[in-house]
């Protein structure tokens, strides 16, 4: 489980670093596969474990990346890449990851965290997603960051609770699928109407 958590953290770093939207979609697909394997890592296998793992794989490694790729194909090649990551974002990423260690130290006496290593990787991935939201300017970068944060939060919950009830995991997948569908539609409409994918340019629309 800890190895899968490390892999998720490394993928979160790649997601923050990537400028190419196709690579970002690939990183999200890989996160979905890792999350499915985390579910299947639970022993003993039950029908609920198999069901949640298959649903996770379908939604996070097939449906969501597929929807993003389909949207990308409708856009010109010049809007399929994000702006370079600003230099301050690298420093911010290092600071927030190091801050996770301080959070673990504060929680150590409470006994809340069951798996400290997995907690570190999960909260680190969540923090990197937050940095990505602030630092990236592309619409799909923002969307990918939100999905990445949700993935990290799922692993964070597992590191604290040990496992989540089946209905909670399936409910989260349904909610995420609906939210991503709405955001993909909104991204398509924004580009269609304003001919831009730069969220900084969209801030000028505020009254």
Kindly state the tokens that stand for 100. Answer: 């996770």
Q: Are 55 and 170 in contact (CB under 8 A)?
A: yes
Kindly state the tokens that stand for 149. Answer: 């944060």
**Taking the model in full, what pTM does it have?**
0.86
Please tell me the predicted confidence (pLDDT) of residue 164: 66
Q: What is the pLDDT of residues 48-76, one digit of tens each?
A: 788 888 888 898 899 989 988 888 888 88
Q: What is the pLDDT of residues 146-162, one digit of tens each?
A: 889 988 888 888 888 66
Please tell me the predicted confidence (pLDDT) of residue 163: 64
Please tell me the predicted confidence (pLDDT) of residue 132: 92
How far apart are alpha carbons 201 and 198 in whole angstroms? 5
Q: Are 183 and 199 in contact (CB under 8 A)?
A: no
The mean pLDDT of 176-199, rounded to a whole number, is 78
Please tell me the predicted confidence (pLDDT) of residue 26: 92
How far apart are alpha carbons 9 and 152 in whole angstroms? 8
- Output the CA–CA distances (angstroms, integers) from residue 26 to 23, 31, 56, 124, 151, in the order listed: 5, 9, 16, 20, 14
């Amino acid at each position: 489980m800890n190895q899968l958590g490390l892999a998720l953290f490394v993928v979160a770093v790649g997601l923050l670093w990537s400028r190419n939207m196709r690579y970002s979609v690939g990183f999200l697909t890989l996160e979905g596969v890792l999350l499915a394997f985390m579910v299947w890592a639970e022993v003993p296998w039950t029908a609920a474990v198999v069901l949640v793992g298959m649903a996770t794989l379908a939604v996070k490694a097939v449906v969501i990346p597929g929807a993003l790729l389909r949207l990308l194909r409708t856009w010109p090649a010049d809007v399929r890449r994000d702006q370079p990551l600003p230099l301050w974002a690298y420093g911010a990423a290092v600071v927030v990851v190091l801050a996770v260690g301080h959070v673990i130290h504060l929680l150590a006496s409470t006994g809340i965290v069951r798996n400290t290593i997995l907690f570190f990787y999960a909260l680190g991935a969540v923090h990197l997603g937050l940095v990505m939201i602030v630092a990236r300017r592309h619409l799909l970068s923002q969307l990918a960051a939100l999905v990445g944060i949700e993935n990290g939060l799922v692993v964070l919950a597992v590191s604290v609770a040990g496992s989540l009830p089946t209905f909670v995991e399936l409910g989260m997948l349904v909610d995420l699928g609906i939210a991503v569908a709405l955001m993909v539609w909104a991204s398509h409409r924004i580009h269609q109407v304003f001919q831009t994918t730069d969220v900084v340019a969209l801030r000028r629309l505020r009254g």
